Chains A and B, each alone.
Chain A
Amino acid sequence: MASLIAMTALGAREPAIITRGPLTITERFDVALASVAARKGRMADVAKAAEKAGIPLPGPAAHQQGTAYSAFWTASEMWFVEAPFATHELIADLLKSALGDAASITEQTDAWVVFDLAASDLARVLERLCSVDFSSVPAGYATRTVLEHLGVYLIKHGPGAARVYGPRSSAESLLHALETAARSVF
């Protein structure tokens, strides 16, 4: 839609895929993201509209997969909603038309760098980085945590799969922390 060419958080044209021993770190450049916060007293309206539009609104500390939209809880009556970037680059506009004035919606796509982590023994890497008890929380667990000084969202998709949303400007530092931990463990 525009002539400007996008650049990844790591300063490249294509997202990175990095392997450190059994750990694979895949930068995801194809995720559109927006925050949805219910306006005061409007939660029922948000829930109704979201259901109609197929936007999941999971409970605390949870991520819920949907068809176009997936979402995870971030605060009381507040969620981050994910969708494929290719079809939902204008995710904020799309959500606004779905939820109307019942919610405050803010584009968050480029506020974050997204890394998908895959390793059979992922818990051993994460226990060097953050205080989340990764091996005992269920799949679909989502939490805000601190990973090497960086505030991140960590979502568990399976025993060996997680997604990390980290501050985009610190993408290099975050990747370095992940790689260093992997080298230290494996």
Chain B
Amino acid sequence: MTQSHRIVGGQIDRTKTLSFTFDGLPYQGHPGDTLASALLANGVRLMGRSFKYHRPRGPISSGSEEPNALVELRSGGRQEPNTRATVAELYDGLTANSQNRWPSLRFDAMGINDKLSTFFAAGFYYKTFMWPKSFWEKLYEPIIRRAAGLGSVTREEDPDDYDKGFLHCDLLVIGAGPTGLMAALTAGRAGKRVILTDEDFRMGGRLNAETFAVGDAPGADWAAATVAELLVGAFDHGIYSAVERVSDHLPTPAAGKPRQILWRLYTGKAILAGGATERPIAFENNDRPGIMIAGALRAYANRWGVKVGERVAVFTNNDDGLRTAKDLQAKGVDVVAVIDSRQGGDLLPGIRHLQGAEVIDTAGKLGLTSITIRHANGRSETVAVDALGVSGGWNPNVNIHSHHRSRPVYDASIAAFVPGQDGPPGLLVAGAAAGQMSTHDALKTGRDAALAALDLGTAPDLPQAEGAPIRITPLWHVAHGKGRAWIDQQNDVTVKDVKLAKQENFTSVEHLKRYTTLGMATDQGKTGNVIGLAIMAELTGRSIPETGTTIYRPPYTPVALGALAGRSRGTEFKPFRLTPSHQWAKEQGAVFVEVGNWLRTQWVPKAGETEWRQSVDREVLATRKSVGICDVTTLGKIDIQGTDAGAFLDRVYANTFSTLAVGKCRYGLMLREDGIVFDDGTTARMGENEYVMTTTTANAVTVFRHLEFCRQCLWPEMDVQLISTTEAWAQFSVAGPNARNLLAKIVDQDISDTAFPYMGAGNITVGGGLRARLFRISFSGELAYEIAVPTRYGDALLREMLAKGAEFDPIIYGTEALGVMRIEKGHVAGGELNGQSTALNMGLGKMVSKKKDSIGMVLSQREGLTDENGYRLVGVKPVDLHAKLTAGSHFLEKGAAPVAANDVGWLTSKVYSPHLGCDIALGYLKAGDKKIGQRMRIVNLLAGLDTEVEIISPHMFDPEGERLRG
């Protein structure tokens, strides 16, 4: 297809031709084109269907304010819905499709909605789909969702990468039009670090779209094109964010390169030079393809060398609209009429300039064919045109200045809102964004803002530029007839909808927005909001300032979710933590489980084992028979030193540690302030003023943070120093009847029961002098130790233990076997330390010392927590040893109906015990300590289980603890 609507000029590279497709049809454009400018150059005006009524729509703008020309860009995993054709940079091979139409854009069956528009007025859904209630989710909502809406989301994974980054500067300049460029120039020449951002891929803002000069050069030449960034929002503490579109102008990003980068910008000062957005005027059928804001019509001609129509008219209430007519005429476009709602003033030479006239209606099914004009004397006239530029005035882009809830104020002299007083600290506003509309004023206020922001002395000279005043007589909508006049084209909100909102007393702008959907979705009402609220002001008789605006929130413009996610996806969602035995375990084909960020060995299958239970049972049996080794490096280790270390521990633990002898360790229970159990672990006294605390794997960080809070904020007078040593030591549990025999081959010192008794702890050496630590503690109920060496030697220690202890057939066991053995012994872990349970619930009530104060001690004595018939930890086994138990099942008395009122507790953890030959479980049962030996039921309605069980002591294996003291 030829580019039938190209005219001379523009900032496109005509020496190169780019091929692209829209709805499967091939077209051509040039570098510098947007998708919209290229389609318009090819005579394509129809680019989409409207949200609700499926009205044919074309672009009304040439920028990010575009409500209509939304397309699906690219295909497969790279498909991007709701992309504004007006900002999509054209590249060779680009594919785009229209959306929200079926079966095609030209013939859309859902266009029937337009005929039924009476039914689809604002509030229709709220009022109509109320009954029956159950129909909403299953019937109404799916149908409405299919009929309405924007683009579709690809079901494929996005193959591209997105980066995040951090930039620092003295001055952030938001917008690279004349204001922003002059501000950046001023600060840059003063040697300041400046970041200049703009949403367009070409710097210069409106200078690219105008014909007037800056200094001696055309404005566009003055504007230097540097980077292409897009500002997203203003956040607290002088932090802004922007998305850099690194590869959006390429079919696929280069290898290793991201598609976009989300930058976090740290700056002392910022200047908002975001310019202004032109707004239309509402009149009947003002939404046909070919009707645009006048500045866009002018931009397409000046910047892209495109005439939108052969016969063009302009409808304006201000002087800027006249500029469009003059520019188009100068480009040789046939300007058939200028409809100027104002009376008086100079007439445009050589153009039919109708003063005091208004456009009252239009015609053309898939694109504009004519407009109807009402002259000052009341006479109507229909004029054949295929493009109409509408200018209702310019709205300063106050959005970013209002992201901290600053309310813009109304400036009647330009009939628009300008930034208020209480914007983000350090943010200045200049140029059109501040209501300074001429190029001269833009340059001057841009320069002055940079001088003020950075307290600079010397200023560069201002280039000569036009300084035309704003002459506007507000006209928000044309009162005529009963047809629909669009305000918000993206949401199909009309003047009638605003009237209905008023009629139903939704007169606050926030209510108006929610009731009519005015200003929602991707364009956030950039062209429609002010018209909507002005009409509401007219209807209610309040002034525009009294009516006010809605709250502005980031992002300023749509941002891809990929950019927000950055690299945090798939296996890169979070970093991994690998244990010192990881290498060995990988060699053995171990199965790993994620525990927080850690990858822990879950079990280590041996040849011939086809099912996980076989591996786990074997590991448990081998450990209890001879010796097993488990990597417990993941447990948190905190070094606690200082002359008050013991006293500090007495306060953070429910039980006492200051009396612990050097060279011994003790099980400790830590409570939250509210008396609930927080964490548990053993703490060893390594020296007079030196302790090593262990925490659970899950709470390693939270316990450390808690201790730091206690040290720094609660008791800063104490002499206590803390540091995490979790990663510094590789620590292994060595458990089983032969644990000591195996370790004796490794440890350089005597570790006999006399020399190193139960709960002993100390510094030792291994392998001929390597510093190490040994703790005689047991989680499995076996004779057990934990041995630690500097992490770099962990792998070697493990291999050494396996080699030197070969005669004892040592096995490595994983977290599953660990779980089996601790449940057999009735030790609490994750399922029991659930953030809702007390020491009393766990059968550890006596550990909470009343002889001293400690965190949580007082509140653990609350009435509700000390009920003697409250939950108690019990052991459970099925009466029929073949029956299965399920964690989460609930306890019921025999004969009780399975309803919540009869619920007396639940199973917290369940395993198969190879020693007891059946499923066993731990659980919290009301008055459980008085029910040992009784029979009950456990019921799980989800799993369909109703099983008779026997309540037993939680210490199900070796209840006297003879093995661990052996």
A104's partner among B567, B583, B721, B795 (CB-CB below 8 A) is: B721
Residues of B within 8 A of A172 (CB): 576, 578
> CB of B304 within 8 A of chain A?
no
Give the nearest-CB partner of B708 in chain A: A75
CA distance in complex: A174, B574 (Å): 11
Are B795 and A7 touching (Cβ within 8 A)? yes
In the complex where A35-B723, A39-B721 touch, is A110 in contact with B598 (Cβ < 8 A)? no
Are A4 and B767 touching (Cβ within 8 A)? yes
Are B770 and A112 touching (Cβ within 8 A)? no
In the complex where A37-B723, A39-B721 touch, is A11 in contact with B163 (Cβ < 8 A)? no
- Please choose the segment from A55-63, A129-137, A155-163 that sits at the chain B interface, where 4 or more of its residues have CB less than 8 A away: A129-137
Give the nearest-CB partner of A112 in chain B: B727
Within B573-595, the residues touching A (CB, 8 Å) are 574-580, 582-583
Are B727 and A110 touching (Cβ within 8 A)? yes
Q: Mark B142-171 against chain A: 1 for CB-CB distance below 8 A, else 0.
A: 000000000000000000010111111000
CB distance from A16 to the nearest CB of B (A): 14
Are A148 and B575 touching (Cβ within 8 A)? yes
Q: Tell me the number of A-to-B contacts counted with CB atoms below 8 Å.
A: 150
Within A1-50, the residues touching B (CB, 8 Å) are 1-9, 11, 29, 35, 37, 39-41
Are A1 and B791 touching (Cβ within 8 A)? no
Residues of A within 8 A of B264 (CB): 131
> CB of B800 within 8 A of chain A?
yes
Residues of A within 8 A of B578 (CB): 11, 169-172
Among B576, B721, B795, the one with the most A-chain Cβ atoms within 10 Å of its Cβ is: B721
> CB of A108 within 8 A of chain B?
yes
Give the nearest-CB partner of A76 in chain B: B712
CB distance from B479 to the nearest CB of A (A): 55
CB distance from B273 to the nearest CB of A (A): 24
Within B757-773, the residues touching A (CB, 8 Å) are 765-771
> CB of A173 within 8 A of chain B?
yes
> CB of A168 within 8 A of chain B?
yes
In the complex where A2-B767, A11-B583, A167-B727 touch, is A173 in contact with B793 (Cβ < 8 A)? no
Residues of A within 8 A of B258 (CB): 184
Are A37 and B792 touching (Cβ within 8 A)? no
Residues of B within 8 A of A181 (CB): 163
Residues of A within 8 A of B167 (CB): 127
> CB of A78 within 8 A of chain B?
yes
CA distance in complex: A35, B721 (Å): 10
Are A170 and B597 touching (Cβ within 8 A)? yes
> CB of A116 within 8 A of chain B?
no
In the complex where A39-B642, A107-B790 touch, is A4 in contact with B800 (Cβ < 8 A)? yes
> CB of A94 within 8 A of chain B?
no
Residues of B within 8 A of A9 (CB): 791-792
Residues of A within 8 A of B256 (CB): 180, 183-184
Residues of A within 8 A of B539 (CB): none
Are A7 and B575 touching (Cβ within 8 A)? no
CA distance in complex: A53, B689 (Å): 23
Are A104 and B641 touching (Cβ within 8 A)? yes
> CB of A88 within 8 A of chain B?
no
> CB of B257 within 8 A of chain A?
yes
Give the nearest-CB partner of B586 in chain A: A11
Are B577 and A108 touching (Cβ within 8 A)? no
CA distance in complex: A148, B577 (Å): 14
Q: Mark B716-735 against chain A: 1 for CB-CB distance below 8 A, else 0.
A: 01110101111111100000
> CB of A52 within 8 A of chain B?
no
Are B796 and A7 touching (Cβ within 8 A)? yes
Are B792 and A2 touching (Cβ within 8 A)? no
Residues of A within 8 A of B721 (CB): 37, 39, 78, 104
Residues of B within 8 A of A174 (CB): 575
In the complex where A6-B796, A108-B723, A109-B728 touch, is A127 in contact with B642 (Cβ < 8 A)? no
Are A39 and B576 touching (Cβ within 8 A)? no
Residues of A within 8 A of B795 (CB): 7, 11
CA distance in complex: A11, B798 (Å): 14
CA distance in complex: A140, B838 (Å): 50
CB distance from B395 to the nearest CB of A (A): 35
> CB of B789 within 8 A of chain A?
yes
Residues of A within 8 A of B163 (CB): 128, 181, 184
Query: How many chain A residues touch B (Cβ–Cβ < 8 Å)?
Result: 52
CA distance in complex: A5, B164 (Å): 40
Are A11 and B582 touching (Cβ within 8 A)? yes
CA distance in complex: A3, B258 (Å): 47
> CB of A68 within 8 A of chain B?
no
CB distance from B314 to the nearest CB of A (A): 47
Residues of A within 8 A of B248 (CB): none
CB distance from A142 to the nearest CB of B (A): 17
CB distance from B608 to the nearest CB of A (A): 28
Are A3 and B791 touching (Cβ within 8 A)? no
Residues of B within 8 A of A29 (CB): 792
Are B583 and A111 touching (Cβ within 8 A)? no
> CB of B319 within 8 A of chain A?
no
> CB of B797 within 8 A of chain A?
yes
Residues of B within 8 A of A65 (CB): none
CA distance in complex: A181, B567 (Å): 10
Give the nearest-CB partner of B692 in chain A: A106
A110's partner among B161, B579, B723, B790 (CB-CB below 8 A) is: B790
Are B728 and A107 touching (Cβ within 8 A)? yes
CA distance in complex: A8, B796 (Å): 11
> CB of B946 within 8 A of chain A?
no
B643's partner among A1, A39, A131, A148 (CB-CB below 8 A) is: A39
Are B793 and A6 touching (Cβ within 8 A)? yes
In the complex where A136-B168, A168-B791 touch, is A108 in contact with B800 (Cβ < 8 A)? no
In the complex where A40-B718, A90-B771, A104-B642 touch, is A2 in contact with B725 (Cβ < 8 A)? no
CA distance in complex: A4, B770 (Å): 8
B769's partner among A1, A8, A78 (CB-CB below 8 A) is: A1
Among A90, A104, A107, A170, the one with the most B-chain Cβ atoms within 10 Å of its Cβ is: A104
Residues of A within 8 A of B575 (CB): 148-150, 170, 173-174, 177
Residues of B within 8 A of A127 (CB): 165-167
> CB of B617 within 8 A of chain A?
no
> CB of B27 within 8 A of chain A?
no
CA distance in complex: A170, B578 (Å): 6
Among A8, A132, A172, A174, the one with the most B-chain Cβ atoms within 10 Å of its Cβ is: A172
CB distance from B593 to the nearest CB of A (A): 15
Are A8 and B728 touching (Cβ within 8 A)? no
Residues of B within 8 A of A176 (CB): 572
CB distance from A122 to the nearest CB of B (A): 14
B266's partner among A78, A90, A112, A133 (CB-CB below 8 A) is: A133
Are A167 and B642 touching (Cβ within 8 A)? no
A169's partner among B257, B574, B579 (CB-CB below 8 A) is: B579
CB distance from A143 to the nearest CB of B (A): 13
CA distance in complex: A1, B574 (Å): 38
> CB of B639 within 8 A of chain A?
yes
In the complex where A108-B723, A108-B728, A131-B264 touch, is A7 in contact with B165 (Cβ < 8 A)? no
CA distance in complex: A145, B141 (Å): 47
Residues of B within 8 A of A173 (CB): 575-576
Are B567 and A40 touching (Cβ within 8 A)? no
Residues of B within 8 A of A136 (CB): 168, 193
Are A6 and B792 touching (Cβ within 8 A)? yes
Give the nearest-CB partner of B264 in chain A: A131
16 pairs across A/B with beta carbons < 8 Å? A2-B765, A2-B766, A4-B800, A11-B578, A37-B721, A39-B642, A40-B643, A40-B719, A78-B721, A104-B689, A107-B728, A110-B728, A136-B193, A169-B598, A173-B575, A184-B258
The chain A residues found within 8 Å of chain B, CB to CB, are 1-9, 11, 29, 35, 37, 39-41, 78, 90, 101, 104, 106-112, 127-133, 136, 148-150, 167-174, 176-177, 180-181, 183-184
- Assuming A106-B725, A109-B792, A180-B567, what are 16 further A-B pairs, CB within 8 angstroms? A3-B768, A4-B789, A6-B792, A7-B794, A9-B792, A39-B642, A40-B718, A41-B719, A108-B728, A130-B166, A167-B577, A170-B578, A173-B575, A174-B575, A184-B161, A184-B256
Kindly list the 4 A-B residue pairs having the minimum CB-CB distance in the complex, ordered from nearest.
A173-B575, A2-B770, A104-B641, A110-B791
